[in-house]
Structure 1
Amino acid sequence: MKKWKKRTALALVLTLLVALLNTAQAAGNIYLTAVNESVLELTSDTMPTWSGGVLYVPYTVFDSSYTGINLGISSSYSRDGGTVTLYNLQQMMIFDLNRGTCYNPITEETISGRAILRNGRPYVPVATVCSFFGLSYSVIDIDEGYIVRIKSSAVVLSDAWFVDAAQNSIRSRIRDYNQANQSQPTPGVLPPTNNTEDPQPEITVPDDPDDTNVIPAYLGFSCEDAQGLSEILDTLDSYSQRAIFFFDAEGLEREDDLIFRILGSGHSIGLIAQGRTAAGTRRLLERANETLSEVAYTRASVVLVPENQREELEQEGWICWNETASAIPDQGVSASTYANKVLSRISGNHARVYLTLDGSSETARVLPTLLRRLSAEGYGVSVPLETRL
């Protein structure tokens, strides 16, 4: 049955290509995207495209937070890091736009396929993503153009029945798009040709903010208390900010589900240890790294340790978090008062600022205000890369 479906999908794609290559009006055909039984809005966020003979869709098509249709997949895009991540509780794939590669950080396996940029938006190869997450897709020929339909095991209607049932939705999507873009031509998607593949845009991880008046600020969260961690991640995502999260071995085991979300959202993982001596701290760090390797198939070198042990540990190759000020809020403090206290602690001639917060519900409550105030006072929250710490 699976082979038959693959052959059918391939036949549909081949039929599509032949039709497009031999039709003078091919560029005017409309491409819509559907997920299971729903036709998505016809916008730049959902419209498929071709590149080098491969069919691509925006990465957000697979994420229920964007489409409202649950495929069991979440996503994130790190503009600074140049990566697109698709993941669920069992699997993760990361597209590296810089290198033009894709890999599975859990198994450390390379995946055939790459993401591309169109108008500043990442697109992923639909066949590669569907195969990785156990989905299927088809390209359906309709009077108005084509539908790229992505399907999970929850799909009910066959393609033929789906097209019949979705006629009103199809017409409505096209009408809404044309009304919103009256000065623009109907969207068209050109098929692959024998020309060389579109050049891949260069994406680089920027250094600290270009504006010399902006002071780079790095946020580190000590996650011994992780009651507010999920809400903290939501806030950082909504503000498009990145941070580093420090865990000990027990925390890595306890919060293993959130570890994947942290990594998948473009944040960093660090280690925290508070031994009585540098040797004792080192043993705790090594234990935490073993746990991190088991949980997320990665290791960390950035650590949050007692100040009097940093020099010795740095000589051994650890990268120590160089705290400028503690930004852990007091219980019940107002968000405005909290932000004022933090700003007063870091005011001065700092070339860079390193703020240590925690993962508590109190931090989650006041974090939005702190981010707004930092921006207003000329601090730019920067990606905490190892080369900058």
Structure 2
Amino acid sequence: MKKRAAALALCLALCLALAPAAAEAAEAAGSIYITAAGNDILPLDDATMPFWSDGYLYVASSIFTGQVNKSLGVAYLPSSVSNPNLCILYAGTRSLMFDINGNFVRDTDGNVSFRGAIRQGGEVFVPASVVAEFFHLEYSVTPLTVSTAGGASYGALVWLRQPNFGLSEKHFINAAFSQISMRYEQYLRERQPEEVGVENPPGGVQLPSGDGKSVYLCLAAGEGAAAQLDALDACGAQAAFFCTPEFLESQGDLLRRMIATGHAVGLLADAADPERTVAEQLEAGNALLARATMGKTRLAKIQNGDERHRREAREAGFSCLEAELDRSDSGLRDSAQAEHLLRQVSAQRGGVRIWLGNAAGAAGLRAFLSAAGEAEDRCLALTETLP
């Protein structure tokens, strides 16, 4: 994460930045993640700052103490000398037991998920979505632009809370403005003596050098999913697979492979379905995904819909894909189409989300990934903050 030792501005402005450019700049330049639990804005510290890994947001397990424990009802039991690789979060008789070495988590109902904890430095981080789902909490990630005299920094507010808290993300940020400002100013003051330099971004992932773009390939999971995964994995690339209920119900092995290899999984809903609303389709899809992988998603692609249907999905807690490039009709099946797509990507500013639908063949995908690699473009998994 890029060191920010620029002169501190006494006048600190924070504003909602829901445009994709803010999220893209956050990823490219290093981002500041401010954590809130209930009413409280937590101290800002590099050692406990949330980060993304394989499309999942991770938060420090040690935050579930003190006031956070009182606000959320979830407590933290740190690793013991007898078992230094076990981290436990609990509420009453319910608990999540994270095996750090085994990279899995087991709950008191006997369920096992392979979305485990990550040890970074001396801190153990846990996936926010797994914790929120099990303990019936709500969480959101709201992009922020933090403006100082040294320029604009990009990041997000990670907010954990009890259901029916009573405030939207926007209203909460407005109400907590002074707390957020105070935490950020304190963070900059503590970092002021440090030399300006570059270190690995959160999660320990070293981004390749160069001026390439961040490219988010989005596919409709279907019969060619296994071959597409082979092509992506061979090139060290990632993508997002949006799945129908039929795929979610029948392709558990492929779903688990997607998640294990760092790809994102989203839900595909059809607004033209005469029997179920978009929200009902997404809820059913997440139930099928949880059955197959012990996890859920907030990514969604609405087909045959309009802004009304996308608003319905957002109100249900989903982040809807709105791609800069739609290639679902023109396809990506050979090297000529791959070359044309790369030219389109080069003409875009910032990160590029590409909806390929069912139109990507393994050969065309391999050709595009090879050409993108030569151009120093990075094919990454879509995350919740990007749409």
TM-score calculated relative to the size of structure 2: 0.46
Higher RCO by CA contacts (8 Å cutoff, separation 6 or greater): 2
Larger radius of gyration: 1
TM-score calculated relative to the size of structure 1: 0.45
